């Protein structure tokens, strides 16, 4: 697949099964993430892998956070929270590190967002499946603390990775003209 075809055909996949990316694939995924635009070369990102049994512990953390926010959360809601990380064999938590005052925080967050996208694109190049997910628990202090983030760190997403179950989705094709205009200043 050439680079443009890759960019034009990427789709998110939510039916992800074993096997998880192997060591060589992970190296390729993270190298792509480390090559994103980064104002001031701050490297304002890091990546936390969650797989195997740890996904159950992440599910427990999500359920605990939900209960902390809402003591009346139903058992169905708690069960759903527990099951969220089981939707793929590997989750990569993309963490923005906002420690430097040298560039605006928003630019560092954008760079971390690019890193999440790079993971998803690289997964496509490797014929793996991936989807970038968040949800309100991504911004929950109890979840951030449980995942080991410090006060200057934020979760920009959970990139779910695995093998696509079934056929790859077809990408929707949007009309470029609907999104692009000229500004002439006249
Ligand atoms: C910051 C961010 C957060 C997202 N969070 C979720 C999410 O929690 N759940 C979800 O189903 N899709 C989420 N998405 C959207 C999917 O990643 C994906 O883009 C969407 O399902 C459309 O599919 P496509 O990428 O194939 O066009 C999020 C996307 C972004 C950029």
At 127, the pLDDT band (50, 70, 90 cuts) reads very high
Span 30-65, pLDDT tens digits: 999 999 999 999 999 999 999 999 999 999 999 999
Check pocket membership of 89 for ligand 1, CB cut-off 6 A: no
Q: What is the mean pLDDT of the chain?
A: 97
109, 130, 132: which to mutate for ligand 1, most atoms within 8 A of CB?
132
Rounded to whole angstroms, how far apart are CA atoms 140 and 72? 17
26 neighbors 174 (Cβ within 8 angstroms): no
- Ligand 1, atom nearest to 11 Cα: 26
Check pocket membership of 133 for ligand 1, CB cut-off 6 A: yes
Report CA(132)–ligand 1 centroid distance (Å): 5
At 70, the pLDDT band (50, 70, 90 cuts) reads very high
Check pocket membership of 9 for ligand 1, CB cut-off 6 A: no
| Residue closest by Cα to atom 12 of ligand 1 | 133
At 1, the pLDDT band (50, 70, 90 cuts) reads confident
Which residues sit opposite 154 in a β-bridge? 96
Residues found in the chain: 186
Check pocket membership of 132 for ligand 1, CB cut-off 6 A: yes
Report CA(161)–ligand 1 centroid distance (Å): 13
At 143, the pLDDT band (50, 70, 90 cuts) reads very high
Report percent pLDDT > 70 for the chain: 100
């Amino acid at each position: 697949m050439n680079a443009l075809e890759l960019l034009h055909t990427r789709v998110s996949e939510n039916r992800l099964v074993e096997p998880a990316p192997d060591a060589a694939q992970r190296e390729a995924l993270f190298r792509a993430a480390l090559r994103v635009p980064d104002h001031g070369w701050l490297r304002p990102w890091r990546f936390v892998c969650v797989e195997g049994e740890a996904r159950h512990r992440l599910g427990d953390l999500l359920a605990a956070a939900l209960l902390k926010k809402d003591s009346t959360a139903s058992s169905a809601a708690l069960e759903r929270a527990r099951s969220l990380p089981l939707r793929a064999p590997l989750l990569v938590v993309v963490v923005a590190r906002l420690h430097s005052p040298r560039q605006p925080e928003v630019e560092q967050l954008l760079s971390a967002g690019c890193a999440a996208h790079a993971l998803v694109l690289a997964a496509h190049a490797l014929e793996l499946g991936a989807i970038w997910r968040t949800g309100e628990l991504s911004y929950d202090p109890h979840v951030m603390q449980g995942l080991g983030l410090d006060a200057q760190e934020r979760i920009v997403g959970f990139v779910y990775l695995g093998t696509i179950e079934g056929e790859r989705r077809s990408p929707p094709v949007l009309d470029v003209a609907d999104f692009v205009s000229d500004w002439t200043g006249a």
